[in-house]
């Protein structure tokens, strides 16, 4: 009797974890898309803050094309903005729906389920890969941003009064 109770408990526990595994897999699309929305928001906020900082700093008044540090500053600004735009590109591809083919013409439900699973796995991998790229690029952008801030603070002369 105890052995039967033990088998039933293990079966219930196994079913529980299988159910959690299935639910987490189906919910993972939502989590990837939510993370992508946050990535888009962060990248957009960073761009807005960067342009606001440049606008309020009167960098145009301090600009001198003959000052090599100003040219380097502009170059790093272009690199930073390019990285942010590419990051946005990948983050947006997580949100943009893609079409994946699943052959459901077969009468066998097991084969249909396998086709649906293959399509779902492709969708998950595509979204994960693009979110990973967007995230890495966003983190990578902080290196030239820090260098650019240093150049601005140390080597760009203040604008004339």
3-state SS of the chain?
CHHHHHHHHHHHHHHHHHHHHHHHHHHHHHHHHHHHHHHHHHHHHHHHHHHHHHHHCCHHHHCCCCCHHHHHHHHHHHHHHHHHHHHHHHHHHHHCCCCCCCCCCCCCHHHHHHHHHHHHHHHHHHHHHHHHHHHHHHHHCHHHHHHHHHHHHHHCCCCCC
Residue 139 has a pLDDT of: 96
Reported as a single tens digit per residue, the pLDDT across 78-103 is 999 999 999 999 999 999 877 766 66
Query: What is the percent of the chain with per-residue pLDDT over 90, rounded to a whole number?
Result: 42
Residue 6 has a pLDDT of: 60
Residue 9 has a pLDDT of: 60
Q: What is the CA radius of gyration of the chain?
A: 26
Mean pLDDT of the chain: 84
pTM: 0.78
Residue 140 has a pLDDT of: 97
Given a cut of 70, whether residue 106 has pLDDT beyond it is: no
pLDDT band at 22 (very low <50, low <70, confident <90, very high): confident
Given a cut of 90, whether residue 15 has pLDDT beyond it is: no
In this structure, of 11-20, 24-33, 41-50, the range with the lowest mean pLDDT score is 11-20
Residue 102 has a pLDDT of: 65
């Amino acid at each position: 009797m105890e052995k039967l109770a033990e088998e039933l408990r293990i079966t219930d526990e196994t079913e529980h974890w299988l159910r959690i595994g299935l639910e987490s897999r189906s919910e993972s699309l939502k989590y990837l898309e939510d993370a992508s929305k946050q990535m888009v928001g962060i990248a957009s906020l960073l761009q807005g803050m960067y342009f606001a900082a440049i606008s309020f700093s009167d960098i145009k008044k301090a600009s001198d094309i003959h000052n090599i540090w100003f040219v380097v500053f502009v170059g790093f600004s272009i690199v930073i903005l390019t990285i942010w735009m590419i990051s946005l590109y990948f983050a947006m591809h997580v949100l943009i729906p893609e079409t994946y083919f699943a052959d459901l013409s077969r009468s066998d439900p097991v084969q249909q389920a396998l086709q649906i699973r293959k399509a779902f796995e492709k969708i998950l991998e595509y979204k994960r890969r693009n979110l990973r790229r967007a995230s890495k690029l966003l983190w990578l952008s902080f290196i030239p941003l820090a260098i650019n801030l240093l150049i601005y603070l140390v080597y760009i002369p203040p604008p004339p009064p």
